[in-house]
Structures are given as C-alpha cells and as structure tokens.
Amino acid sequence: MKLVVLGGAGSQALYGIKDLINHSSVFDEVIISSRNLEKNKKIVENLNSPIVKAAQVDVSDEEALYELIKDCDVVANCTGPYHILAYKIMETTIKAGKHYIDFCDDIEAFNKIFESDLPKKAKEKGLSMIMGLGASPGFLSVLACSAEQRYFDSLDEAIFYFACDEKEPGGPAVLGHMLECVHNAPYIKDGEILNEPSFREEWDFDFGEPYGVRKVTRIGHPEVFTFPRYSPGIQNVSVRFSLEPFSAYEGFRDLSLAGLTSNYPLDINGNPVSPRDFALAVLLAQKANQPVMTEEELKEFLKGVTACAATELHGKKDGKDMYYVGRVAGNMAPLTAIPLILGAEMLGKGEITKKGIMVAEEAIEDADKFVKETVKRIREDGFGFTVSEELTVREEY
C-alpha cells in the first residue's frame, strides 16, 4: 500500500514518518512530498529506508497534486495553513477517490470544510476522511472520549488544556497561527457559542509535573467544534493554554491586550498594515536572531518534557456528579505526528468504518485502544511520555 505525505519534509510530519519506519506498517511505499525536491531527497537519504521516496509538488497546483496522489491509497496532509490550503487539497483527494487524514488545528478550516458540499461528496464516493487527528485536537480529545465511555453516563462540560515550551520545533506558520488563535477564542457556555480574544479571563490550572500550576487563558482551538460532534448534548466546551517560560505567555498577553493581534489593516504612511502582520514580522525577526539548535541539542531537548496537556470533564454517572482530569506530559511534535500515522494505518487497513468527512472523535470508535497504542508507540520511539488520570465522585447524603 502507498501513503503520500503532503508536507512530509516538515518538522512534525517527519516524526510520524520515522515512527512508521520503526514499526512494521501496512504501507510498503511512503512518499515525502513538498515543493523542495532537493530537500526531500536529502531527507530520504538520511532516513535510509527502502520504503521512503521523494516527490515534488505544489499543493496549490491541483493537476500536479492529482497526478501525485492518483495511485496512492491514503493521503496524509501535513501542509498548512489549513484554512487556506485544506479545502482544495481535500477536493482534489475526493476527485482522486482516496482516503485522507490530517492534523488540522485550525478552527476556520473545520468550519469551511463542514459547511461545504465536500462531506456529501466524500460520503457518496465511499471515502473515509479524518480531520484533526494530531495532538489537540486528536489524542487529547480522543482521551476525553475514552474517559467519557469509561466513567460517564452524560457530560456537561469539557475543558481542554495545553502548555508547551516556546522552543518546541515548529515553522514560521506556527507564530501566525498563534496570533489568530489568541485573537479569536470561541467557547461554548450554557449551550451558546461565544467568542472573545484571549486573556480577558485567566485561571490557575495544575498540569502536574513538571509544569505544575500555571496561568491559563482561553484560546481559539477546534475542540469547540469537534468535540460536540461526538457529544452533541454537551453544554460547555473551552480550550485553555499556557506557555513555557511564563515570559512567553506574558508576551502574547501583552500583544493581545495592546490590540496587536487584530487583522484589521491600518494606514501607515499610505500602506495598509494590520497590527497582526506587524506583530508577526517582529516575532519572526526575533526568532531569526535566536540560535538554532543542532540536531544533537534538539535530541537532548526532547529527552525532557517540553509540553503538557490535559482534558477535564464534568458530568454524571448513576446519578452522581463525576469529575475527571487526564494529564499528559511529553513532547508536542511526536504527540502530533504519531496519532496521524496511526490513523493513516487504520485507514489503510479498513479499520475506519464510517464514510464521509469526520473529526477524530467521530472516526476513532475504540478510543481507549487508540490512546494506549499511541502511548506505546511514542515510548517505543524513545520519547518520555506519561498519562495520569484522576476521577472524583461527588455525592451528598
């Protein structure tokens, strides 16, 4: 079987490809594709695996993309920004009649896709297409599904948390995406969808070791869209985040409260410039002046915990109030890429039975099995990774 990984030369996608090489896979051919063929060839050479090959494609060229994927079995899309690129890529994938998966964490992309006719077209073709099977949404929200299936009869509230080190691997698109997510932070309260920028409300949350108690604030993230598709009766859903070090969190707070995340253009000396574009240019210039970690330094960095996350659920079981917290500690890059690869393998094996376009929470029917397999694979790849759960029963006599 053949897997095409769009954006396969990206830092996060490579963790998934390395995981696939480390384990016996249903795929005997994996194509790493991006616009830079020479870079792809160098990566393939370094991976030194007979199943991995390089290809060149500009995903905005629909004809070239179709030619690349027409003979494959599964398309894994690791190319962002998703709100710009996902629609055409998924449309071309449906035209080619291929199963699809991504680790989209862009709420605008979810809204755009699910409000279109693409879900209907995918279902009519008998295709299984999964959006958002990365770290969050993905592993974290599937962990919430697993907890719901094990411990609850009904859910009233789900809160998703994440905190990561600013040195975590990621390209320039990550900073732009962060500014968008800080500016638009939708949440569901008492069944109503509301929206406000981050940092208007803050809470303290205990992530457990090693991050401990951190200030968190709402952030715009797709779980507000994806999780209610799994739990349609839920009344309260939000996503909250922090950063390591705390000064990075404070930096984004200052940008937000100063209005520098706005995308509304201002006239500056006759030139239309949005505050967000200005802020992004400054952040990218600062990042460019920082020393880049060597491969050995990166390996050493990833030996420690560079990201923490959690899912918090409130609901009922047998008439009793239940409170659940599942905490995760590890590295964001493998936690993003390995769920995607596991999902791609499930598509290849025909283990995803539902058809059409679906979110991760809908696609993964045996949530507990998926969570345990993800943990196992991450650890087998040499990364430290822990999951701890707390369940509290509140009952009055």
Q: What is the pLDDT of residue 397?
A: 64
Digit-coded pLDDT (tens) for 51-83: 999 999 999 999 999 999 999 999 999 998 898
Residue 240: pLDDT band with limits 50, 70, 90: very high
Residue 45 and residue 76 in one domain = yes
Residue 171 pLDDT: 62
Say if residue 284's pLDDT is above 80.
Answer: yes
| CATH for 43 | 3.40.50.720
pLDDT, tens digit, for every residue of 303-353? Answer: 788 899 999 999 999 999 999 999 999 998 899 999 999 999 999 999 999
Range(s) of the domain holding residue 179: 139-330
Q: How many CB atoms lie within 10 A of CB 53?
A: 16
Q: Please report whether residue 37 resides in a domain.
A: yes
152, 96: one domain: no
The band of 287, judged by pLDDT with boundaries at 50, 70 and 90, is confident
Same domain for 169 and 94 = no
> Is residue 151 located within the same domain as residue 270?
yes
Predicted confidence (pLDDT) at residue 396 exceeds the cutoff of 90: no
User: Regarding predicted confidence, which is higher, 298 or 194?
Assistant: 194
Reply yes or no: is the peptide bond before residue 137 cis, omega within 30 of 0: yes
In a domain, 181, yes or no: yes
Co-location of 252 and 362 in the same domain: no
Q: Has residue 185 been placed in a domain?
A: yes
Q: If you average pLDDT over residues 213-242, what whole number do you get? A: 97
Residue-wise DSSP of 149-208 = HHH-SEEEEEEEEEEEETTS---HHHHHHHHHHHH-EEEEETTEEEEE-TTSSEEEEE--
Please check whether residues 109 and 146 belong to one and the same domain.
no
Residue ending a domain, among 330, 355, 377, is: 330
**CATH assignment at residue 275:** 3.30.360.10
Residue 24: pLDDT above 80? yes
Q: What is the pLDDT of residue 166?
A: 83
Same structural domain for residues 340 and 321? no
Highest mean pLDDT among 260-269, 286-295, 367-376: 367-376
- Overall average pLDDT of the 110-139 stretch: 97
Residues 184 and 311 in one domain: yes
Indicate whether 297 belongs to any domain: yes
Q: Do 168 and 277 fall into the same domain?
A: yes
Other CB atoms within a 10 A radius of the CB of residue 275 amount to: 19
Number of domains in the chain: 2
Chain segment 174-203, per-residue pLDDT in tens: 788 889 899 999 999 999 999 999 999 999
